[in-house]
Amino acid sequence: MAKILLTGDRPSGKLHLGHYVGSLQNRVALQHQYESYIFVADVQALTDNFENPNLVKESVYEVILDYLSVGIDPNIATIYIQSQIPEISELTIYYMNLVTHSRLERNPTVKTELIQKGLEESFSVGFLCYPINQAADITAVEGEIIPVGEDQQPMIEQTNEIVRRFNRIYGEGILKECEALIGKVGRLPGIDGRGKASKSLKNAIFLSDERDIIKDKVFAMYTDPNHIKVSDPGKVEGNIVFAYLDVFHEDKEEIDSLKKSYQKGGLGDVQIKSILFSSLEKILFPIREKRKTISKDFVMDIALNGSKKARKKAMVTLEKVRAAIGIKYA
Ligand code: TRP
């Protein structure tokens, strides 16, 4: 039997190139090899967007549209919405007993997010506990292979700690451990050169961006601030245009020779940006076109059918978990 692949995204905006190279490409490539479950984590998105439920709801639709546009095939992969599987919430409650408060506060991803969102002084219990909810996402469908970006590695470790603790207390082999599968590029830098590409930092190129927007973003990219005249020698390290060319430009030899000319002097930012723009358009044009052919009704149909299927699987897991804990009365 094929192993189970599971992964998801928070619907708090559309997906961008960081998601594409971090995880989406892997999902598309592996959907034929593994039994795939791909979901939109709206319950998790509410943990830091609880005052903005409309953003979450609209993004559920947009993110599934992103999935379909990049080539996740709904006839092969099960696509679903987290909130439609209430069994995940019940599992979360049982797992909460297996994790200490201080362990959650030490989770590096949570720590970074609290700083980024300015929440260090005051954050909700719901937010702090989202890694536990994520362990429930994974174990509900017995996910083993988890394609994610590098920043999610601590979540996988935390999930496996919960799994081991659960099994030690309630019975070996009941829950399965999982492993992260980090994409070709675990961490894509933002176009402004400040940290990773992220929607909250507004420094990402979205899969659904129109051609003109992509062009504007590429031409506004951070390069080498000391490369003023075309004839000046330029720096390649820390230069975001080259970081993106390394990831998205097919011809590696051409990149090497571009880098050499840039370092020597004589190659302008406009030229390297034009080359990058064409490479990105090669990838993003077909994604954008496919997006236009998909209707909202189709998206919702896929998501609701997928949710029914995922729910059946989660129900089986929940029954096993309840029985193992000893709270089955009939
Ligand atoms: N935390 C992930 C993100 O921010 C989304 C997510 C929720 C997830 N549950 C998951 C990813 C389970 C992998 C497995 O992108």
The per-residue pLDDT for range 296-323, each reduced to its tens digit, is 999 999 999 999 999 999 999 999 999 9
Residue range 105-125: average pLDDT?
Answer: 92
236 pLDDT more than 90:
yes
186 pLDDT more than 80:
no
Q: For 77, which DSSP code?
A: S
149 alpha carbon – ligand 1 mean position (Å) = 10
In whole angstroms, give the CA distance from residue 127 to residue 45: 9
Place of tokens 């943990």: 47
41 C-beta closer than 6 A to ligand 1: yes
β-sheet bridge partners, residue 81: 40
148 C-beta closer than 6 A to ligand 1: yes
Place of tokens 């590098």: 150
206's CB contacts (< 8 A; 6+ apart) are 14, 15, 16, 17, 199
Q: Quick one: pLDDT at residue 200?
A: 80
**Average pLDDT of the chain?**
96
Q: Quick one: pLDDT at residue 149?
A: 86
8 C-beta closer than 6 A to ligand 1: yes
Supply the residue whose CA is at minimum distance from atom 14 of ligand 1: 7
Q: Give the model's confidence band at 269: pLDDT under 50 very low, under 70 low, under 90 confident, else very high.
A: very high
The β-bridge relationship of strands 179-182 and 4-9 is unpaired
Residue range 186-210: average pLDDT?
Answer: 91
Domains and CATH numbers, the chain: 4-189+295-325 (3.40.50.620), 211-290 (1.10.240.10)
Q: Quick one: pLDDT at residue 95?
A: 98
Supply the residue whose CA is at minimum distance from atom 3 of ligand 1: 9
In whole angstroms, give the CA distance from residue 70 to residue 24: 8
7 C-beta closer than 6 A to ligand 1: yes
190 pLDDT more than 80:
yes
Q: Quick one: pLDDT at residue 183?
A: 83
- Pocket of ligand 1, candidates 40, 46, 148: which has the most ligand atoms within 8 Å of its Cβ, to mutate? 148
60 alpha carbon – ligand 1 mean position (Å) = 14
- Pocket of ligand 1, candidates 4, 7, 142: which has the most ligand atoms within 8 Å of its Cβ, to mutate? 7
44 C-beta closer than 6 A to ligand 1: yes
Supply the residue whose CA is at minimum distance from atom 5 of ligand 1: 9
- Pocket of ligand 1, candidates 4, 5, 6, 10: which has the most ligand atoms within 8 Å of its Cβ, to mutate? 10
Q: Quick one: pLDDT at residue 187?
A: 84
